[in-house]
Structure formats: structure tokens, C-alpha cells
Amino acid sequence: MLVAPSLLSADFGHLAQEMEWFNQSRADLLHLDVMDGVFVPNISFGFPVLKHVARLCQKPLDVHLMIVEPQKFIPQVAELGAHYMNIHYEAVTHHHRVLQQIREAGLHPAITLCPSTPVHLLQDIIGEVELVLLMSVNPGFGGQKFIPNTLRKVEQLRRLIQESGSQALIEIDGGVNLETGRQLASVGADVLVAGSFVFGTEHPSARIDALKSLT
């Protein structure tokens, strides 16, 4: 299992220290939740903070943009040297165009679905993305409870990916812990995002190891 700890639950007063242990851990990606207070009812951090995090972090960045008009920020995400640029399906009208612009900027295009957005809407753009993120909570806050219907959506997405010949990874975000992680592994998830299960706990690296061992 690939694991992407979410910085949203980190100690923002000590980001440099957080990145020190994180760089030594077995985490695969750093998940970065950007919120604008419009697309979601919360504001997190923006590019001035991300620039410092990108300098401190030695692992690939998975930028999850919970913002309206994410296409406006393609150059800034590229400048961070990010790996995935993850836009919400619900925040964009011309998905195909925006995903191509993301690729042209040298980034890996990814798309996110809210819990109420059906998987079949991806049918005509699955070939344009390298990762699909299914939200397993309503976006905006860490520490929420996992929505069990996500398991059904993972199965549907796995089928769509197989039928279309896509290589996209399936990532899940929200309420991930060892129990929900085990369920997600059994239906075919590739990447688990984990915020409050990892950051702020006594042994964060051990928790990452535990999630990584799920098959």
C-alpha cells in the first residue's frame, strides 16, 4: 500500500521538525490540502507556506486543491515541483482541457470526487488522469468519520480503470485508520491519505508502517 500522510494534521508551529521525521519515514507522498473557504467551508494554507514545505520535504508532493477555479494555479503548483496536481471534479467545467494543461505544465494530473459525486462521471476522462482520489469524508476538515459507501465506489472505479485500460491509481482521503484502511485495501485502493491517524500521534512513523503493510 502507498501512504500519503496529510500535512493538515501537522503541528504548523513546528513544520521543520515535522518534516525531519517525515523525511526519515516510509511515507510515499506528502498530501497537501489547500482550502479556499469557498469550495469548502474552511481555509488551510496557500502557496507562501507551501513553498517552505516543498523546500523541506524530500518526498513527492500530492497537492489536493479544494478550491474553485484550480486551473488558475497550475503555474504555482508546477513551481513547487509537485508530483500530483489534484483538482476536484466539482470545481471545474472543462475537465479535459484543464487536465491537459496540468500535464503540459510537467505535473501528473489527478482528479478528486466528493462523496456524492458518482464514479461513472469519469468515464470520458479516465484516460487523462494518473490518479483518482475518492473523498471518504466531505472535504474541509481532518478527523472526520469514514463514509462506508466509499468501499462500493472503489469497486466501481477499479472496474472502470480495468475496462478502460487506464493505469490510474486509486487514492482515498478521509477517516483512514487501520480498520478502514484494511477494508479499503481489500477492495483495491492503491494509496491511503491519513491525517489525524499519523500527525500528532506518539509514534507517527510506526503508524505509517502499519498502513503500508495493508494488502
Instruction: Name the residues that contact ligand DX5, by CB under 6 A.
Output: 6, 8-9, 31, 33, 64, 137, 139-144, 173-176, 193-197
3-state secondary structure of 140: coil
| 36 tagged catalytic | no
Q: Which does 194 bind (CB under 5 to 8 A by kind): Zn ion, ligand DX5, none?
A: ligand DX5
Which of 62, 130, 171, 173 contacts Zn ion by CB under 5 A? 173
Instruction: Verify whether residue 62 is a known catalytic residue.
Output: no
Closest CA to 92 of 120, 117, 115, 75: 117
Task: Work out whether strand 108-113 and strand 131-135 pair parallel, antiparallel, or are unpaired.
Answer: parallel
Residue 142 contact partner, candidates Zn ion, ligand DX5, none, CB within 5 to 8 A by sort of partner:
ligand DX5
Dihedral of alpha carbons 189, 73, 39, 99, sign: negative
Query: Would you say 6 and 195 are in contact if contact means Cβ atoms under 8 Å apart?
Result: yes
Binder of residue 106, out of Zn ion, ligand DX5, none (CB less than 5 to 8 A by kind) = none
Rg of the chain (C-alpha set): 16
Per the residue annotation, which of 28, 62, 173, 190 is the catalytic one? Answer: 173
Q: Which is nearer to Zn ion, 33 or 130 (CB)?
A: 33
Bridge partner residues of 194 (DSSP):
5
Q: What amino acid positions are annotated as catalytic residues?
A: 33, 173
* Residues in touch with Zn ion (CB under 5 A): 33, 64, 173
